[in-house]
Chain A
Amino acid sequence: MNFKNIFLLLGLFLSMSCKSPTDVFKIEGQNVNINDSLQSQANIESFIKPYRENINKDLDSILGYSVDTYSKSDGDLNTAIGNLMADVIYEEADPVFFKRTGSHIDFVLMNHGGIRSIISKGPISKRTAFELMPFENSIVVSKLPGANVKELLEYLAKAKRAHPISKLKIVLNKDGQIIKSSLNQIPIDFIKTYYVATNDYLINGGDGMDFFKGSEEVIVLDYKIRNALIDYFMKTDTINPVIDDRFIQLND
């Protein structure tokens, strides 16, 4: 048998065994934009509708009122909206923490970037909480040695950003050095260990808050920040937060 015959046989064998086309000879690829040039499919739209209406009804039901419009850019080292958020975390999380551990939260530190929207003057609803905190971050408590609390204070002094704090008071001199740090008017004792409530983003070193790596223990409360805000709004008629003296820099 010569070569030609082998190929003929091979060709015959292939053609008989291969009943269907199974090899790619051409590929075309494109990414198609979905926009308002496409009609919505009616059955899908009508299926979504009751879910959407139910959510909107709940999100927009009025829980309370805001006296003014508050933004995280209004204020220097502390802002009304940040103070509100940190105070809400303390108020809502401390009872949970106490129930679980028998100890109280000493102070709260959140991040300025974590305030995701303004609070507008007028009605407050669950939607306000979703806008303020669209992410699923939750509250955790760090058992933080004094040495790391010192780093925390130095971080805040250096950052000069209105990272929300509650219960903690910091005074900087005109050169930006810490001249006072206290809890309930008692100076921070760098030999002691403190319970610091924060969020699960910062505890893992978010925003460069590396001092949390020194945590002796991290207590997870399984309590979302957004839910703490909703719980607070539900029991509060009117919010009227202010810029205060919890974190300030002296002029002279």
Chain B
Amino acid sequence: MKRREFIQQTTAASALVGLGGFGLQSFSSSPKKITILHTNDVHSHIDPFGPEDGRNPNQGGIARRATLIEGIRAKSPNTLLLDAGDIFQGTPYFNYYGGELEFKLMSMLKYDAATIGNHDFDNGLDGLYAQLPHAKFDFISANYDFSNTIMDTHVKPYKTFIKNGIKIGVFGLGIQLSGLVDKNMYKETVYLNPIEIAQDMSRILKEDEKCDLVICLSHLGYNYRNNTEKPSDMSLAKLTKDIDLIIGGHTHTFLPKPTIVKNSVDQNVLVNQVGCFGINLGKIDFYFDSNKNKSAEGVSILV
């Protein structure tokens, strides 16, 4: 693994944390590693770009992504694979098969969950619903209320996973649909305030579900510099707590590396997004040991 840049490593753990130390270490096994892999805005880009492509020559391709993911899983078996939405729309594969192939291939790659992007409504709620049988992974969205639609009960607000004894909670967030998606497409889907929902979700996942790791799978967009009122991953990170990682989409932002943001209680949150079209794969490794590094300042982040 390449460590591109050493951003932060604060080893100043508090005295209290230090005291409990020795007894615990003897009990605990070696550190556990959880790997989170993610894509966003793949937009039906199943085939790689050709060598002649003006912008992204020889980039992307789901069959190559499969090889990459398989290699990572071989080294790091406790891996989650997530997608932050806009799976649909962008190549004739979608126009001809309505998303069937996208879902089948993502199932073959063993995606664990995806959230719903605005373009996933492009064939309407009926079009999305029709493709659900091809997806062997769950759709999660906490701020789209589908109760009065055909999608009711088919989308969960969050999902928890247990990997090697580590409990991971993942919740989904979607962007405001009115003005972006034709009403005929999303029908009675109700958009709820993503910041408020994220505050609820992080509390539920941290306190009720007792998750060790809380991940937000968001299609809000990375940052809106000219419209700070518009919810984005960056504003979400700053206004909430107990979220460890925000995986974003929508704005097709090619981050060279994850962004580190301070949340509402001055703890670090990672915000990441990997552009679009399956050109990059995000990879975040979390290393766990027994609870003597409780203080977030004691966590070293290497990005």
Stretch from A5-13, A67-75, A101-109, A209-217 at the B interface:
A5-13
CA distance A24 to B26 in the complex (A): 18
Residues of B within 8 A of A58 (CB): 96
B283, A30: Cβ atoms under 8 Å? yes
A55, B285: Cβ atoms under 8 Å? no
A32, B283: Cβ atoms under 8 Å? yes
Given contacts A18-B27, A23-B290, A25-B299, contact A33 B213 (CB under 8 A): no
Residues of B within 8 A of A156 (CB): none
For window 1-46 of chain A, which residues contact chain B by CB distance below 8 Å?
7, 10-12, 14-16, 18-36, 38-45
Given contacts A29-B303, A43-B108, contact A34 B281 (CB under 8 A): yes
A26, B60: Cβ atoms under 8 Å? no
Q: Number of contacting residues on A, CB 8 A? A: 46
B3, B19, B68: which contacts A38 (Cβ < 8 A)?
B68
Query: Is there a chain A Cβ closer than 8 Å to B161's Cβ?
Result: no
CA distance A54 to B96 in the complex (A): 9
A44, B92: Cβ atoms under 8 Å? no
What's the least CB distance linking B231 to chain A, in Å? Answer: 21
Stretch from B79-87, B220-228, B254-262 at the A interface:
B254-262
CA distance A21 to B105 in the complex (A): 34
What's the least CB distance linking B298 to chain A, in Å? Answer: 7
Residues of B within 8 A of A28 (CB): 1, 3, 284-285, 287, 301-303
Residues of B within 8 A of A65 (CB): none
Identity of the chain B residue whose Cβ is nearest the Cβ of A138 in the assembled complex: B182
Query: Is there a chain B Cβ closer than 8 Å to A191's Cβ?
Result: no
Identity of the chain A residue whose Cβ is nearest the Cβ of B272 in the assembled complex: A29
For window 74-102 of chain B, which residues contact chain A by CB distance below 8 Å?
89, 92-93, 95-97, 101
Which among A10, A20, A39 has the highest number of chain B CB atoms within 10 Å? A20
Identity of the chain A residue whose Cβ is nearest the Cβ of B290 in the assembled complex: A21
Identity of the chain A residue whose Cβ is nearest the Cβ of B165 in the assembled complex: A20
A30, B182: Cβ atoms under 8 Å? no
Identity of the chain A residue whose Cβ is nearest the Cβ of B59 in the assembled complex: A35
Query: Is there a chain B Cβ closer than 8 Å to A48's Cβ?
Result: yes
A25, B288: Cβ atoms under 8 Å? yes
Which among B48, B61, B65 has the highest number of chain A CB atoms within 10 Å? B61
Given contacts A34-B280, A36-B48, contact A23 B294 (CB under 8 A): yes
Given contacts A14-B24, A34-B68, contact A25 B4 (CB under 8 A): no
Given contacts A22-B291, A41-B63, contact A36 B58 (CB under 8 A): yes
One digit per residue, 1 when the CB lies within 8 angstroms of any chain A CB and 0 when it does not, for chain B 157-170 equals: 00000000111000
Query: Is there a chain B Cβ closer than 8 Å to A250's Cβ?
Result: no
Given contacts A10-B20, A34-B278, A47-B105, contact A18 B28 (CB under 8 A): yes
For window 88-139 of chain A, which residues contact chain B by CB distance below 8 Å?
130, 136
Identity of the chain A residue whose Cβ is nearest the Cβ of B101 in the assembled complex: A51
Residues of B within 8 A of A21 (CB): 28-29, 31-32, 165-166, 288-291
Given contacts A15-B26, A22-B167, 13 further A-B contacts (CB under 8 A): A11-B24, A12-B23, A14-B24, A23-B212, A24-B286, A24-B287, A27-B300, A29-B257, A35-B60, A36-B48, A40-B61, A41-B63, A43-B108
